[in-house]
Structures are given as C-alpha cells and as structure tokens.
Amino acid sequence: MNPLSGIFGAAVALRNSLYDREVFAVHQLQKPVISVGNISVGGSGKTPFVIALGELLQQRGIRFDILSRGYGRSSKNIAVVDPEGTSSDFGDEPLLMARKLQVPVMVGADRFQAGLLAEKTFPSQLHLLDDGFQHRRLHRDCDIVMLPQADLQDTLLPVGRLREPQTSLNRANVLVVNQQMDLPQQFSGRHVWRVTRTLELPVNTGRAMAFCGIAKPDQFFAQLKDLNVELAGTHTFPDHHRYSEADIQLLLRKKQQSSAGYFVTTEKDEINLEKFGEKLDCLRIARLKTTLEDANEATQWLINTLEQRCGCKL
C-alpha cells in the first residue's frame, strides 16, 4: 500500500473504531433511517438509486423525506430544498431529488439536526439518508451501499478513490451492484440487490455535441454511443460544475466547429446550467433510470427490516 493511503487508512480505522466503541456519540431520530452510500468518491449512482427507491416507497404509500449534505451549496445552514431554487442554494443532487420525487429534501452538514427539523415540520414515516455511509454520528436502521465493480480493484485515498477499505462493507446491510457483476466469494450470503441502469434519450437523430460535469464523463459518453448517438464532439467539466456565460460561448463554438445538430447532457447538468440552458439551442437531456431487480421482494424485505428494528408499523 502507498504510504499516503496507509496514513489515510489508519485515520479511517481510528475514526470507525471510536464509533464502534461508542467513544463518539451516535444520535438517533424518532423515525427510522435508511442510509444510501458507498465507499468511493463520486460516480456510483447513489442519486438515481435514491430516486428509484423513493418511487418504490411511494408506490407503497410510505411518506418519507431525504436528508442530504447539499454538496457545493453556498450556505451552511439547514434548509428545506425549494424545487424551484438553484444549485448554489441547495446543491444539484438534492435539487434533482426534490424535483423528481416531490418530497421534502433537507440539506445540512449535520444530518441529525436536519432530521430533527424534518420531524417537526413534515409527517414523514421514515428518512432516506443520502450519501450517509460515512456519516456515522446519525443512527441508521438500514445501511444500503452502492458497490461498483471498480471499487473492488481500487485503493484508498489520496492515491485511489476509496473513502474506506473494502472491510468496511461489513457494516452494510445491503450491497447494490450492477445486474451482471460477479461478486467475490467473500460476499456470499450477503443481501445483494441488483440494478440495471438505462440511459433514455427520446430523440437521438443527427450529430450531437455532448457535454457534462459529472464524476464519470466517459461512462456517459459511452452510454450515448450505446444508444447509437453519433457524437460530433464531447466536452467535460469538473463534477458539480456550475455553468457560466464563458462556458456557454465555448460550447456554442464547439458545436459550430463540429457541425453538430444539437447538444446533449445529463439531468444534473441541466440543473447546473440554470438560466444558461436557454442559450443552448436544441438542448436535449439524457435521463438515467435505475431499475431494481425483484423490486417488490426487495422493498418488502426493507419494510419488514425497518418495522422489526424500530418497533413501528409503516
């Protein structure tokens, strides 16, 4: 192991040990908490999965809210996301979840305090904790962890992309993997949910100028090619990038130079474009849909588990 990763790993192990030995306090909300997280930095599909899980809960008539850090927003105060707001106010992913699910989304670094405010304000039956696997100061009743194939071969920060070693997956109640992913023998007997991810683009005729500011841009461009989109050109921005007038002018020049007929980008980028999206002629949004295999069985298991652990009826 690289010495820098070794130092990082030692710090992570110490922090987890302090929580395991209850030296660091863990705070519990009145309503049950489902955490959706991962062990790597960005790009594991957490937000689309939270949306998919939320839709499954809504089909069962279960009321819930979402607790999120609100990465990249300008304010640090706890706030309720306004679906008509901006990414600078609330963060792009919380805003996307609020718009897609039409449920209360709370943003704040202290998810326990955000949860307390949610319980005072909304009639939710449970909380979904977005990107919560490392937020151990908040008690959770079920830990769902996204596990991309790449995480099995990666190394710890700052050399690799892992925020925790693979051994931390022992804390997980459910592992979420791609439908065709082969899991090592060490994960046998674990609760594993398999998902498929489908990129949807209603119209893909003509040559496209594709751009995005997400964690894994190459994956997005490859998915477009799988849809038989003819890419005249591509351009990448940093993850969570908020667009400026200069960015728009750059994209317009690239579109003209490549003779592309339209722009295509992601739902997250659509939010970060804000008013500038109107300046991109023929802009099409590719939407990523996550589908859970055996969804009814998985949802029922989750409900049963929460009811047993919290002694409540959902």
In this predicted structure, the answer to whether residue 74 has a pLDDT above a threshold of 80 is no
The whole-number pLDDT of residue 122 equals: 98
The whole-number pLDDT of residue 186 equals: 85
In this predicted structure, the answer to whether residue 80 has a pLDDT above a threshold of 80 is yes
**Amino acid making up residue 206:** G
pTM, two decimals, is 0.95
In this predicted structure, the answer to whether residue 258 has a pLDDT above a threshold of 90 is yes
Q: Are 239 and 213 in contact (CB under 8 A)?
A: yes
| Cα gap 309→76, rounded to integer Å | 32
Average pLDDT for residues 229-242, to the nearest whole number? 96
Q: What confidence tens digit (pLDDT) does each residue in 81-95 have?
A: 999 999 999 999 999
The whole-number pLDDT of residue 42 equals: 81
Q: What confidence tens digit (pLDDT) does each residue in 170-203 have?
A: 999 999 999 989 888 888 888 999 999 999 998 8
Rg (CA), the chain: 20
Q: pLDDT class for 274, splitting at 50, 70, 90?
A: very high
With a pLDDT cut of 70, the percent of the chain lying above it is 100
Pick the closest to residue 240 from 216, 219, 214 (CA basis).
214
The whole-number pLDDT of residue 84 equals: 95
309: CB partners within 8 A, 6+ apart: 32, 141, 142
Q: What confidence tens digit (pLDDT) does each residue in 148-163 have?
A: 999 999 999 999 999 9
Q: How far is CA 105 from CA 26, 68, 123, 212, in A?
A: 22, 7, 13, 24
**Domains of the chain from N-terminus onward:** 12-196+292-310 (3.40.50.300), 199-290 (3.40.50)
In this predicted structure, the answer to whether residue 168 has a pLDDT above a threshold of 90 is yes
The whole-number pLDDT of residue 115 equals: 98
Q: Are 26 and 19 in contact (CB under 8 A)?
A: yes
| Cα gap 190→175, rounded to integer Å | 8
In this predicted structure, the answer to whether residue 1 has a pLDDT above a threshold of 90 is no
Lowest mean pLDDT among 65-69, 178-182, 232-236, 237-241: 178-182
Residue 273: phi and psi, rounded to 5, are -70, -35
The whole-number pLDDT of residue 205 equals: 82
Q: What confidence tens digit (pLDDT) does each residue in 100-151 have?
A: 999 999 999 999 999 999 999 999 999 999 999 999 999 999 999 999 999 9
In this predicted structure, the answer to whether residue 204 has a pLDDT above a threshold of 80 is no
Average pLDDT score over the chain: 95
The whole-number pLDDT of residue 58 equals: 98
| Cα gap 38→33, rounded to integer Å | 16
Q: H or E element: which one contains 193?
A: strand 192-200
